């Protein structure tokens, strides 16, 4: 179980995944169109390089020898052909399977066939595997099941990024690196909503995941080659998205714009993998502006790879921060309440590693682009469910 043959994943992976927009109805035509759209809309050039085909690309049953077969109606041309199409557009190709007998949509999956499947992925030219936790586990524990695929990927002659999707059930941040994982889901499935409701059979809203990322106290496990993954982005999605239409959810109102900026700001503060899941056929200006914001993405991709944490709570007002390379710092002022509020903190409170005697600090507001200097106070009026998102350094 050495990481010697494993690819280096020095910054949080960025890409686009089919699940939230297409759910189990995805087809190879959708994937081709998404590849074209990622290029035309500027997503690829902003860093979204992996196109990940989630559940349902495979036939319902494996072949007699245990190998995967492509879904006969929805992926008739086969995966190798699709990988070529994606590679030809300067993107990398991600695929999906599960560390159980079946995927979450009930197609036969990889438990017991890890080596055969890893070899198929390598032959097809796959660059990334999202490995889920559904199906029967045949009494094998999570570490054993995820190590089996980690070892299989190590043995094939291709660099394949290994994304562990175990939902945080068995604290994968403790063992993900040891099974050659490069990222691991920390939490349950994200829904296209601010907060989960009691009626949801499973799934979490954006603010539920933000809380769990802090309460689980996992920032110490996070960094280059081993990333905590709070799940895909729901920016641009809502009640009509294919995933929202799946059984068991009540996504009854669209995100507010402020909520979407909050969602993206926190994923960047967390140095989270940025896997967009919006419908690229209906890309509106707000979604594009949020997901392609260079200053926010730079905070996500900062070379230190630190996961931001909560510094202060005062009722609905919260202050979060993380250190950046070059002695700078990213700060979020969050308003969880229903009315706009003033939030104020100071550079001494946030995790800023600047000399005490600097005296003057330069602040850039990520979302407005405004710049100013301060002697230490950081403050803003923040909308309901919104954030102020700052980069702070010595003036």
Under rule CB under 6 A, residue 166 binds ligand GLA: no
Taking the complex as a whole, how short is the minimal distance between the CB of residue 157 and ligand GLA, in angstroms? 27
Cβ pair 280, 21 in contact under 8 A = yes
Under rule CB under 6 A, residue 367 binds ligand GLA: no
Token pair listed for 259: 């909520």
Cα distance between residue 181 and residue 170, in whole Å: 14
SS3 label, residue 240: coil
Taking the complex as a whole, how short is the minimal distance between the CB of residue 185 and ligand GLA, in angstroms? 7
Which residue number, 249 or 389, has a Cβ lying nearer to ligand GLA? 249
Torsional sign, CA 166, 170, 173, 179 = negative
Which residues, numbered 12-31, are part of the site for ligand GLA (CB under 6 A)? 19
Token pair listed for 234: 């729901």
Q: Closest Cα to residue 145, out of 166, 173, 116, 124?
A: 166
Taking the complex as a whole, how short is the minimal distance between the CB of residue 56 and ligand GLA, in angstroms? 7
Which residue number, 203 or 386, has a Cβ lying nearer to ligand GLA? 203
Cα distance between residue 291 and residue 242, in whole Å: 20
Under rule CB under 6 A, residue 105 binds ligand GLA: yes
Q: Using the rule CB under 6 A, give the single segment among 99-107, 209-217, 270-278, 372-380 that binds ligand GLA.
A: 99-107
Under rule CB under 6 A, residue 104 binds ligand GLA: yes
Question: Under 8 Å CB-to-CB from 52, ≥6 apart: which residues?
Answer: 15, 16, 17, 18, 93, 94, 95, 96, 128, 130, 275
Catalytic site includes residue 189 = yes
Which residue number, 104 or 156, has a Cβ lying nearer to ligand GLA? 104
Under rule CB under 6 A, residue 165 binds ligand GLA: yes
Token pair listed for 271: 């140095």
Taking the complex as a whole, how short is the minimal distance between the CB of residue 247 and ligand GLA, in angstroms? 12
Cα distance between residue 5 and residue 162, in whole Å: 12
What ranges in the chain are assigned the alpha helix state H?
A: 19-22, 28-40, 43-46, 79-88, 114-124, 142-155, 172-175, 206-215, 257-269, 285-291, 294-300
Taking the complex as a whole, how short is the minimal distance between the CB of residue 232 and ligand GLA, in angstroms? 7
Three-state helix/strand/coil letters over 307-332: CCEEEEEECCEEEEEEECHHHCEEEE
92-98/128-132 β-pairing: parallel
Which residue number, 103 or 321, has a Cβ lying nearer to ligand GLA? 103
Cβ pair 351, 323 in contact under 8 A = yes
Out of 30, 54, 132, 383, which one is annotated catalytic?
132
Under rule CB under 6 A, residue 229 binds ligand GLA: no
Which residue number, 206 or 258, has a Cβ lying nearer to ligand GLA? 206
**Interaction mask 168-207, ligand GLA, x per CB under 6 A:** ---------------------x------------------
Which residue number, 55 or 302, has a Cβ lying nearer to ligand GLA? 55
Q: Using the rule CB under 6 A, give the single segment among 30-38, 102-110, 192-200, 305-313 that binds ligand GLA.
A: 102-110
Token pair listed for 54: 């989630």
* Binder among 114, 132, 154, 383 for ligand GLA (CB under 6 A): 132
Q: Closest Cα to residue 164, out of 82, 228, 79?
A: 228
Out of 30, 54, 189, 279, which one is annotated catalytic?
189
Which residues, numbered 32-71, are part of the site for ligand GLA (CB under 6 A)? 54-55
Which residue number, 181 or 386, has a Cβ lying nearer to ligand GLA? 181
Q: Using the rule CB under 6 A, give the single segment among 98-106, 145-153, 320-328, 358-366 that binds ligand GLA.
A: 98-106
Catalytic site includes residue 356 = no
Residues of the shown chain interacting with ligand GLA in the complex, contacts defined by CB under 6 A: 19, 54-55, 103-105, 132, 165, 189
Q: Which residues are catalytic?
A: 132, 189
């Amino acid at each position: 179980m050495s990481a010697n043959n494993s690819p280096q994943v020095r910054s949080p992976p960025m890409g686009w995944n089919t699940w939230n927009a297409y759910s189990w109805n995805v087809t190879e035509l959708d994937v081709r169109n998404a590849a074209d759209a990622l290029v035309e809309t500027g997503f690829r050039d902003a860093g979204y390089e992996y196109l990940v085909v989630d559940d349902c690309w495979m036939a319902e049953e494996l072949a007699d020898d245990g190998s995967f077969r492509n879904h006969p109606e929805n992926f008739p041309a086969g995966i190798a052909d699709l990988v070529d199409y994606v590679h030809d557009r300067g993107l990398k190709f991600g695929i999906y399977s599960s560390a159980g007998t079946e995927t979450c949509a009930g197609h036969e999956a990889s438990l017991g066939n890890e080596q055969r499947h890893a070899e198929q992925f390598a032959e097809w030219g796959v660059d990334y595997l999202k490995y889920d936790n559904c199906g029967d586990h045949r009494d094998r524990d999570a570490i054993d099941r995820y190590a089996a695929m980690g070892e299989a990927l190590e043995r094939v002659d291709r660099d394949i990024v290994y994304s562990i999707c175990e939902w945080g059930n068995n604290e994968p941040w403790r063992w993900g690196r040891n099974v050659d994982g490069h990222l691991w889901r920390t939490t349950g499935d994200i829904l296209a909503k601010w907060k989960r409701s009691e009626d949801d059979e499973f799934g979490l809203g954006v603010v539920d995941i933000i809380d769990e990322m802090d309460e689980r106290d996992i920032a110490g496990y996070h960094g280059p080659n081993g990333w905590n993954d709070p799940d895909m982005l729901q920016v641009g999605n809502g009640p009509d998205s294919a995933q929202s239409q799946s059984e068991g959810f009540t996504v009854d109102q669209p995100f507010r714009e402020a909520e979407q900026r909050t969602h993206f700001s926190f994923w960047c503060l967390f140095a989270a993998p940025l896997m967009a899941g919006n419908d690229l056929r209906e890309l509106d200006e707000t979604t594009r502006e949020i997901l392609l914001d260079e200053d926010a993405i730079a905070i996500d991709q900062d070379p230190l790879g630190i996961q931001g944490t909560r510094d202060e709570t005062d009722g609905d007002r919260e202050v979060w921060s993380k250190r950046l390379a070059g002695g700078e710092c990213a700060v979020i002022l969050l308003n969880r309440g229903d009315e706009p509020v003033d939030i104020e903190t100071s550079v001494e409170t946030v995790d800023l590693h600047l000399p005490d005697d600097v005296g003057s600090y330069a602040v850039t507001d990520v979302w407005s682009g405004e710049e100013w200097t301060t002697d230490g106070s950081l403050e803003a009026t923040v909308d309901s469910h919104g954030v102020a998102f700052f980069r702070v350094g010595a003036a």
